[in-house]
Amino acid sequence: MPFLVAGPDITPIQDLISTWTHIAQALVASIGALAFIFAFIWKITAVEAHSALAAKQWIQRIVVGTIGVEVAGSLVDILTRSVPPTAH
């Protein structure tokens, strides 16, 4: 029966997407951690209240951005796993 023939194997594409997603998450996590440390030091050493407020805002942006990357990575994982596997 021709309608039971399996489609192309998409496992390599799923693996590639997963690999690049993990690389991007690791890169953002490393840069985010470094930026967080610098912003925290900036906040601690700030002389003016305005400068401390700016550092606090940057810390919030870094945290929200990091959470956004994690959510995006989870979404990519969910979407790539939702594709049904092909039977051979």
Structure tokens at 10: 């998409």
Domain ranges of the chain: 14-81
Amino acid at 68: G
Taking 60 as the threshold, does the pLDDT of residue 26 lie above it? yes
Model pLDDT, residue 11: 80
Model pLDDT, residue 4: 56
Model pLDDT, residue 3: 58
- The Cα–Cα gap between 27 and 88 comes to 37
Model pLDDT, residue 72: 85
Structure tokens at 40: 């925290």
Three-state secondary structure of 49-60: HHHHHHHHHHHH
Mean pLDDT, range 41-52, rounded to an integer: 89
- The Cα–Cα gap between 88 and 7 comes to 9
Model pLDDT, residue 29: 83
Model pLDDT, residue 37: 92
